[in-house]
Chain A
Amino acid sequence: MNQPKRSDEPIWWALFSAGGVCFAVMIPGLVLTLGLLYPLGLLPEAAFSYSRVQQLLQSFWGLAGLILAGTAICLPLFHAMHRVHHGLHDLKLAKGPLTKVLCYGLASLLSIVAIAYSGIIV
């Protein structure tokens, strides 16, 4: 058997793993606060005022906003698109590198938008 070429999969797998952790840790908390408690009026109105949230995200030289975008949007995106990519392979819909480029390309594009917006807000 010939020596096979090294796969680039460790990169996508690392992003997938990191995204999985973020999904499990960040998303339930965010859904609880932003999706349930806040709309139900169980949290004080002032806690989520624009200026207060902006101030919060600006802390640590804007790193807080960047970390929030990274852990709540970017890494979970790579996690999800990794599943979509492999799911398409399982459904025999992935032929050649096109789906891979589309999946991880979309995740990269939306990640850039998220990070750029976190910068603008901050």
Chain B
Amino acid sequence: MEKTIIIQRYNPEQDQAPSAERYQVPFDHSTSVLDALLYIQQQLDPTLAFRWSCRMAICGSCGVMVNKIPKLGCKTFLRDYPAELTISALDHFPIEKDLISDMAVFLDHLQAVKPYLINDSKNTEPHRQTPAQLKKYQKFSSCINCGLCYAACPQFGLNPEFLGPAAIVTAQRYNLDSRDQGKAQRMPQLNGKNGVWACTFVGFCADVCPKHLDPAAAVNQGKVASATDMLISIFKP
């Protein structure tokens, strides 16, 4: 059994524009898109470039567009597609080569929200946390930074300055953590026009998230937090 895989090839240093190339790939019930890409690279065309590492949806490096929907290659299976499927690099990012996109913008945005615990460094005691306190942020803590939500977000496509779903999820994850005291440092980023307010609640980020952590909900909770922050700033002397 074989399926046709059409891959968007592009080498910015040599090609004028991306072009499509077709490959015949054998498959069975367990063949993932990543397996198919590895088969092509090892058996048919060693010049094909793509990122991958863990094969088990935890490293977040094999994100590609499969039939124009952002997917993790390792978590997407050929059996679920018709005889032909099209694979291209993640939308909304510059292409480095073939299926490798340049994630620098995303990493900048992630860094801008200070994605780490900020607290009194003099306190060396363990920070105890109740199950209820853990529950507040736990659902937002499983982000693997794969960038699928950025490829899905039409607002990020229109405005690459938008912090974007994963960065806002991560900001919320730390803001809601009882061990963290860095909310005041993160809020200015969320309060800006490229923070939570650039989101129009399309919700496609939540559809494509391979960890099902609902970035759209996090961004909207961020809107409530930002509106509250504005109210407080008005009444605070």
**CA distance in complex: A1, B197 (Å):** 18
Stretch at the interface among B26-34, B59-67, B86-94, B225-233: B225-233
A4 and B158 form a contact (CB under 8 A):
no
**Residues 110-121 of chain A, each 1 if its beta carbon lies under 8 Å from chain B, else 0:** 000000000000
B230 and A90 form a contact (CB under 8 A):
no
| Number of B residues, CB within 8 Å of A | 20
B158 and A13 form a contact (CB under 8 A):
no
Q: Is B193 in contact with chain A by the CB < 8 A criterion?
A: yes
Q: Is A3 in contact with chain B by the CB < 8 A criterion?
A: yes
Stretch at the interface among B4-12, B169-177, B184-192, B209-217: B184-192
A1 nearest CB across to chain B (Å): 4
**CA distance in complex: A10, B200 (Å):** 13
Q: Is A9 in contact with chain B by the CB < 8 A criterion?
A: yes
B227 and A7 form a contact (CB under 8 A):
no
B232 nearest CB across to chain A (Å): 11
**Residues 95-137 of chain B, each 1 if its beta carbon lies under 8 Å from chain A, else 0:** 0000000000000100110000000000000000000000000
Q: Is B223 in contact with chain A by the CB < 8 A criterion?
A: yes
Q: Is B195 in contact with chain A by the CB < 8 A criterion?
A: yes
B227 and A5 form a contact (CB under 8 A):
no
Name which residue of chain A comes closest to B226, CB basis. Answer: A10
Interface core residue of A1, A3, A5, A13 (most chain B CB under 10 Å): A1
Name which residue of chain B comes closest to A5, CB basis. Answer: B192
Q: Is A101 in contact with chain B by the CB < 8 A criterion?
A: no
A9 nearest CB across to chain B (Å): 4
B223 and A92 form a contact (CB under 8 A):
no
Q: Which of B193, B223, B226, B231 contacts A5 (CB 8 A)?
A: B193
